[in-house]
Structure 1
Amino acid sequence: MYRILQYVIAILFGIMGFMLMEASMPILSPIIDVKFLKMGFFGVSLMKILALILGTGLGGVVGYLISAFVLDQGIRMSKHVERVLSHVPSQELMAGTAGLLFGLIIANLIGLAFYRVPIIGSYIPIVLSAVLGYIGMQLASRKGPELYTSLLQYKSAPKAKKKEKGDTKATAIQDDRFSGVSDAKLLDTSVIIDGRIAELCATGFLEGPLVVPLFVLEELQRISDSSDTLKRNRGRRGLDILQDMQQRDLIPIIVIDDDYDDIAEVDSKLMRLALERRWKIITNDFNLNKVARLQGIAVLNLNDLANALKPAMIPGEWIRVQVIKEGKENGQGVAYLDDGTMIVIENGAEYVDTSIDVMVTSILQTSAGRMIFTRAKGSKE
């Protein structure tokens, strides 16, 4: 195909050279005053024949020489456009295309009325096509998905009323799967292995349905079949947690087979699926959390939730802890709260395996967790 396009460009430039040479014949005829060149066949002079052949040949050679550059630039531009469009959700892309076509049709219909206007009549349709095409594309891409979702919900409402109460949950799951409702949440591999998602669903604070793509299950299976004992145990734990959640019916869980063969990484597939369906991602992965937020994807991080639910501590407050071990610095002791928060105790090394009262001096809060710095020296008085 690349070679064929090179020849096509060469032919086009050859035709352009032919047309330019034919247009310049009135200028060349007085300059070239050779009698035998004025001889011709079928009313066409030999000079004109040679000039047309020369113009066509030069145009074809020039076209072939620059065809590689033209094609490389076109391929580079098409790949850039493809990368940009791949991040646009499918619903917005289809709605924007339909809006562009509708705007162009309206612009041409209006332009016919101004076509006979002197001087500017032939330019008005061009301006209208650019303006109305852009407006139609923008309006459709912004409002199209909302109108489509509303239409689907309106159509499904009468059917839902006829269903029995036992079928209501199944109907909601099916509608959410195919209509792109934003209430669904994608589960990442890390949050499945973590296990806290099951306890969170049991409390009733998290609304579903939860969506597990097939490529996430395949990654869990690969981890379960790993030769590393730790990875194998984590993968099997994740599969057991999913099965337990389905059996306990804590929250609707959907397994979908959407996949992207052009993407290798599971996290990239997850983000693209979230962009297309307008779904949220539940994860514990710090890097996935950052990259997804940069792309405008709503992310629910269980670590952030756990940090928000930890009891608030203020400097000067006294708490009772049991010193577990010595710290890294000289004289430091380390203790832990029930929620796993690390407590660093100044001058607490001598109290290892002892429960003591410590005073909070400062608190360090990060995305990875929280550390509380305390002092054991002194008393409340």
Structure 2
Amino acid sequence: MKISLNFLVRIAGMLALAFVGNWLGTTFANTQPGPTEATAIQLLTLAGAGLGLLTTHRWTLEPLQQVIHYVKTISIEELIGLTLGALLGLFFALLLAIPIGYLPAPLGQFIPIVVAIGLGYAGAILVAGRRQDLIAIIRGPKTRPVVVPPQLLDAIGHQRRHLLDTSAIIDGRIALVSETGFLEGKLLVPRFVLNELQTLADSSDDMRRGKGRRGLEILNEMQKDGKMDVEVIDTELNSNEPVDNRLIALAQQYQSPLITNDYNLGRVAKLQGVQVLSLNQLADAVRPPVIPGQDLYVVIRDVGRERDQGISFLEDGTMIVVEDARKLVGKEVSATVTRVHQTQTGRIVFAHLSTSKSDMARGPRVQETPAP
């Protein structure tokens, strides 16, 4: 039988506060307590036990876990500063404990403890906050700093880190973007994202299994290619949190941009101050512009949903809806753009057939590809 630490802490707190309640009741009762006083002692004991069982983990275990998590996330300089500051505060508290101990009871017993906690905390915060100044004093006077151009810093190996989301890996375009050189630095893949890809690859659903295997293959190809470093990182984040929440927390911790195709994740991350790089937005930005009034030569590939509509596609996959072209499937026509509708996943171009030969001759010919 496995017993959790939370349960043990609750039991210890229940026993300790039950003892405190019993001690308080016995102290304030007469030497020979009557039935009423005996009942009061029992009630205080039960109240202490219940209070300890319900609240001990709140003021012992949870603060300790927060301290451990904080220690793991701060730099070594800040950790050393906190430790030295606390030791310095405790040293002064020790000096003050001798005169304070002569105060009448119970002040002489409790005030030194309060002073030690307060000075230890104040010393830790003070030294940690001014650690750079203290380091400068220890190192001596500064020499005049040398101004290094940013281009030189980049040339000597300064790397920027980018955090990869599961959707961006499965999409596959991140491999092509990294090959072009538009991204510099290192790509970080959290362990829990890799586990999510493995779970998808082991799924019984064909579509999910295909996506997971595709993502794993893309990561392997990017590591073998070597044009950008791909590093799998292990984190100490709470595994019970959703993957999106852990990605945002990790991006804040590393101060790295988040590469994702998840629209909702991108919006939540931006609200929390995380820079988001969307491959969908990048694709929209590099597509050739299509403006109302422009004439295009297109081949009608299919019929549309609405009456008399025909469907065609630009070479970048953009769908064109041509009015009155339902009966022209398989034929090349000249169409004039009427409007461009932007969606979360791309854009849709609406057009109508050109009405004259002069319109047919105007505008560049657009190379078409079959519908995806």
TM-score range, shorter chain: 0.5 to 0.7
In structure 2, what residue type is equivalent to 1:16? L
Q: 1:232-286 CA distances to partner (integer Å, 9 max, x unpaired)?
A: 3333333332222223222112233446573375444434433333333222223
Q: Which amino acid aligns with 1:193?
A: I
Pick closer, same or farther for the CA change 1:252–1:270 going to 2, 3 Å.
same
Code of the residue aligned with 1:58 in structure 2: it is A
The structure-2 alpha-carbon separation of the partners of 1:371 and 1:136, relative to structure 1 and needing over 3 Å to count, comes to: farther
Rounded to whole Å, the distance in 2 between the matches of 1:109 and 1:309 is 65
1:136 and 2:125 matched: yes
Q: Any stretches of 5+ residues in structure 1 without a counterpart?
A: 22-47, 117-121, 148-167, 177-182
How many angstroms does 1:209 deviate by? 0.8
> CA distance change for structure 1 residues 85 and 9 in 2, over 3 Å: closer, same or farther?
closer
- How far 1:104 moved relative to its partner? 10
Shift of the alpha carbon at 1:65? Answer: 3.0
For residue 102 of structure 1, what is the aligned residue in structure 2? 85
> Residues 88 and 295 from structure 1, CA distance in 2 versus in 1: closer, same or farther, beyond 3 angstroms?
farther
State the identity as a percent: 33
2:148 alignment partner in structure 1:
none
Alignment RMSD (CA, Å)? 4.4
Mapped partners of 1:358, 1:77: distance in 2: 72
Measured against aligned partners, the alpha-carbon deviations of 1:293-319 in whole angstroms (never above 9, x if no partner) come to: 344333221112112222333322333
Residue 17 (1) aligns with residue 25 (2)? yes
Equivalent in the alignment of 1:356: 333
1:107-150: CA deviation from partner (whole Å, max 9, x where unpaired): 996997xx99xxxxx9xx98xx59x9499389849x98xx9xxx
Q: Distance in 2 between matches of 1:233 and 1:306?
A: 23
**Counterpart residue number, 2:353:** 376
Change (3 A) 1:313 1:138: farther
Change (3 A) 1:6 1:377: same
Higher helix proportion (structure 1 or 2): 1
Q: Describe the shift of the 1:369–1:344 C-alpha distance in structure 2 as closer, same or farther (beyond 3 A).
A: same
**1:58 paired to 2:35:** no
Instruction: Identify the residue that residue 158 of structure 1 maps to in structure 2.
Output: none
- 49 and 87 in structure 1: CA distance in 2 versus 1, 3 angstrom threshold: closer
Which AA in structure 2 matches 1:91? Answer: T
Question: What SS is found at the alignment partner of 2:32?
Answer: helix
Taking structure 1 as reference, are residues 79 and 109 closer, same or farther at Cα in structure 2, changes over 3 Å only?
Answer: closer
Which stretch shifts more, 254-263 or 70-79? 70-79
The 5-angstrom pairing of residues 184-263 of structure 1 reads 184-258=161-235, 260=237, 262-263=239-240
Mind listing any 5+ residue stretches in structure 2 that lack a counterpart? 1-7, 101-110, 136-155, 360-372
Aligned match of 2:14 = 6
Cα 1:299–1:72 change in 2 (3 A) is: farther
The separation in 2 between residues aligned to 1:374 and 1:67, in whole angstroms, is 77
Q: Which amino acid aligns with 1:102?
A: G
Distance 2:124 2:83 in 1: 8
Q: Does the aligned pair in 2 maintain the 1:10–1:60 contact within 8 Å? A: no
Contact kept in structure 2, 1:101 and 1:133, CA below 8 Å = no
The verdict on how the C-alpha distance between 1:137 and 1:334 changes in structure 2, with shifts beyond 3 A counting, is farther
Residues in 1 aligned to 2:196 and 2:70: alpha-carbon distance in whole angstroms:
26
What is the CA distance between 1:74 and its match in structure 2? 5.4
**Mapping for residues 65-84 of structure 1, pairs under 5 Å:** 65=47, 67-69=49-51, 71-73=53-55, 75=57
Separation of aligned partners in 2, 1:106 and 1:294: 40
Q: With the length of structure 1 as denominator, give the TM-score of the two structures.
A: 0.64
Contact 1:214 1:259 in 2 (8 A): no
Q: Is this contact kept in 2: 1:10–1:59, CA < 8 A?
A: no
| TM-score, structure 2 as length reference | 0.65
Q: Figure out how many residues of one structure are paired with residues of the other and give that number.
A: 310
| Partner amino acid, structure 1, of 2:197 | L
Query: What amino acid does structure 1 have at the position aligned with 2:50?
Result: A
SS of 1:49 mapped into structure 2: coil
